[in-house]
Chain A
């Protein structure tokens, strides 16, 4: 075999590393978690809200609902803020301002999640406790922190989507007498919509998968919340809080929790990829 062919083979093997990692991760998580789901029954596992692993009750219904609510809350805060930043950066500011603002906003992505969680505990939780009531550690606190944490994802992907819209669209609209805002709202945003939806979906994935910050501010009580001021426990927190000491069926149940999380994330990623490809 000549050298060129050999090099190509080796590179091909290296290139398989990411997909094979993904496959191995999937196999191991399912291998560890599926027996418990079989044992409990998928319906009971997902819909029951009774989680008492030492007594043999494995229902993660409350955590699924909490994860979804926390994510929804994060989107309510993060999407408008992130989209606003993206529109300003892509459409309404000068080149010089953009060159300054864009890297600055990207710094948000570099701040570790434990720091977000820590500041949430120090500042946000007391604020909620004193002014809105409840224990402070709550669905609301987790939503706000996650809303901030997804900003870099939403901003950077939305900016890419907006700048990908050809300038002739804008010029045409302005030439017809539309204002800049009308142009953005009626022409640019619709043209960039699939990219923006991708940004929102990936932001959701980021929010639902976040662990450390949520553990620190969400309060971690296992029940269906009846208000945003009540503490909640998400799927991710459940895994991280109990993995340290779980054994036997209990540990399997945590991997089963991981399966549910993994499936949700993969569905989100797949739809993001499909939507992005349609563009």
Chain B
């Protein structure tokens, strides 16, 4: 008979390895956060946030890149939210599972998997070249909107589904129409979840680089119209780091970028958890 380890010993070994791997993953996360904090946070001063970059970003702050980031993100969210929430309402309230829902879901899933560089190529050829918007806030915002659309659809759908069926039944029994039920009861109840999706989209937009490099461009001036090029914080950070322009400023930008995204994601996660707990 072949010699075998006692199952309990195997279990101890297996659990140790699994926990060690989990620990390693956590360690990587901690390393990333600590590293960026230690080198980056000391750079972050009021003047760093409020001054425009000068000399290609070697000196000065990142004010114009913050403005460009805010414009692009707002535009993307403003375009994608109605589309995404509308899709979610249609999928949850208006149809049974069938070929239509399957195609719509499939579209959203595939779109979520499209790599950002492909979106960048697409935005470049359609918005920048064919429609003649050039490297601009509008080209970037439109492309970002397509990128975040699947995120908004998925979270909004989940949130609307979580609203208990009884809520709707009560509305109908009171003589409300379907549309009244949706706008007065279902959407307000699902609002925390929908907000989660929007916040996650903001986080995703903040960190995006590949899409924007070829649609919004990298002009350092503060954009003043939709048709101006603008450099977001992430693109600015990429250029600073890759061309070795200024490591301290790169770290400072990275710190602001990372902490804003982490904070947004944490709040978004908390909102969704709270909503799900209320309904379960």
Q: How many A-B residue pairs have CB under 8 A?
A: 242
Taking a contact as CB atoms under 8 Å apart, the answer to whether B107 and A239 are in contact is no
CB <8 Å contact, A211 and B116: yes
Looking at A81, A148, A181, which has the most chain B CB atoms within 10 Å of its CB? A181
Contact call A111/B107, Cβ cutoff below 8 A: no
Q: Which A residues are in CB contact (< 8 Å) with B14?
A: 181, 185
Cβ of B118 < 8 Å from any Cβ of A? Answer: yes
Q: In residues 79-106 of chain B, which contact A (Cβ within 8 Å)?
A: 82-83, 86-87, 89-91, 94, 100, 103-104, 106
* Minimum distance in angstroms from B30 CB to a CB of chain A: 9
A88–B18 alpha-carbon span in the complex (Å)? 7
Taking the complex as formed, is A182 at the interface, i.e. its CB lies under 8 A from any CB of chain B?
yes
**Are the C-beta atoms of B115 and A236 separated by less than 8 Å?**
yes
A22-57, CB under 8 A of B: which get 1 and which 0?
101100110010000000000000000000000000
Write the A65-104 contact mask toward B (1 if CB under 8 angstroms, else 0). 0000000000000001110110111001000000001011
CA–CA, A117 and B19, complex, Å: 27
Given known A-B contacts A88-B22, A114-B207, A262 and B11 have beta carbons under 8 A apart: no
> In the complex, are the beta carbons of A261 and B106 less than 8 A apart?
no
CA distance A215 to B104 in the complex (A): 34
Asked if A113 meets B121 with Cβ closer than 8 Å, knowing A21-B111, A181-B15, A261-B115, the reply is no
Confirm or deny: B51 has a beta carbon within 8 angstroms of a beta carbon on chain A.
Answer: no
Cross-chain contact A216 with B115 (CB below 8 angstroms): no
A231 partner residues in chain B, CB cutoff 8 A: none
B:168-193 near A, CB below 8 Å? 177-179
A17 near B122 with CB under 8 A, answer: no
Tell whether A254 pairs with B257 under 8 Å between CB atoms, given A4-B179, A81-B24: no
Among A3, A108, A180, A243, the residue within 8 A (CB) of B179 is: A3
Interface centre among B22, B153, B254 (most CB of A within 10 A): B22
**What's the minimum C-beta distance from A246 to chain B, rounded to whole angstroms?**
11
Report whether A19 and B125 are in contact in the complex, using a CB–CB cutoff of 8 Å. Answer: no
Comparing A7-15, A126-134, A163-171, the segment that makes contact with chain B is: A7-15
On A, residues with C-beta under 8 Å from B are 3-4, 7-8, 10-12, 14-22, 24-25, 28-29, 32, 80-82, 84-85, 87-89, 92, 101, 103-119, 121, 123, 148, 151, 178-182, 185, 202, 205, 208-212, 215-216, 236, 239-240, 243-244, 254-255, 258, 261-262, 265-266, 268-269, 273
